Amino acid sequence: MENRNDIITVAVVNFKTAAGNKQSNLSRIKGFTKAAAKSGADIILFPEMCLMGYDYYIDEKISLEEKVAATETIYGPSCMEIAEITKEHGVYVVFGAAEKMEDSDTLYNSAIAIGPEGVIGAYQKMHPFETESIWCVKGDTPFMFDTEWGPISVGICFDTYQFPELMRHYVAKGSRLYLNPTAVIEEIPKECSRQAFINYYAPTLEYGVLCNTIFIASANLTGFDDTDYFGGGSCVIGPKINAFFETDVTYYAGNKDNVQEGIYSAAIDLSLATTPLFVNSKFTGVPDYRPELYKKFV
């Protein structure tokens, strides 16, 4: 994309959900959005399943009929209320929620994108994690949305940590910022639970930066939901150039240790996302990335 802007302020929210209480969660999503917008954020990212909470949908004591009844389409009242704020403040919001299809009881674990012009669309999680498959079906379509900073891409939690193909696809399509609404559990009160959380959560994100030279914004639930305890650690990370002119990774906002609910934001320079694997090499004249070859492996 020509003439795209490079400097963007990204905010991520460590969010403690009120289990099964949509109105409380929606009110706080709106409050955090207003606060982040007033502080200069261009895009605000909330965690996976933050609208109703994660545990509500994996609770087998709650019937599927109740879950369907609690779920909205992307043009339902919750999205419309958030859209009023994004229009007023000229910002983008991406948040996690169960999504119901029109005229269907099919449910997805989705990340919904809303911008200055209203609802943009949603990404449906391609790789539901374990018990999520009790209530949602698998999505099958990548999702990017256009902005003045170029295309911004979205994956959800398990998509990001175990399936690097999705981020690689987005980078090949020109995305310099990848959003990861997530719900990563910290297995308390087990010994070394915090270290186990950090050892899983942080290296996979950092590898995404080092491998793809892309910026990643990750927003995680924090604290207790209903039965699960979530690890927080919301952050904005991305490339920096070290003394040897090689790509390194740094935390621009938030950090992997932080469990405090709140907003963490930073202005980042997307021009550092040089995506070297996808531009013509000065040695060969063609990109190192070879998708036509990889297709032969399948």
For 176-211, the pLDDT digits (tens) are 999 999 999 998 888 889 999 999 999 999 999 999
Which is nearest to 94 in space by CA: 10, 7, 171, 163? 10
Q: Tens digits of per-residue pLDDT, 13-38? A: 999 999 999 999 999 999 999 999 99
Give the pLDDT of residue 190: 83
Nearest Cα neighbor of 29 from 267, 215, 219, 233 is 219
Under-50 pLDDT residues of the chain: 1
Residue with tokens 């498959």: 133
pTM across the whole model: 0.96
Provide the pairing of β-strand 43-45 with 92-100: parallel
What is the token pair recorded at 63?
């019937």
What's residue 72's pLDDT?
A: 96
pLDDT at position 54: 97
Longest dimension (CA), the chain: 60
pLDDT at site 1: 46
Q: How far apart are CA 72 and CA 86, in angstroms?
A: 19
Q: Could you give the CA distance from residue 44 to residue 230 in angstroms, rounded to a whole number? A: 20
- Which residue ranges form the domains of the chain, and what is each CATH number? 7-297 (3.60.110.10)
> What's CA 99's distance to the chain center, in Å?
16
pLDDT number for residue 2? 58
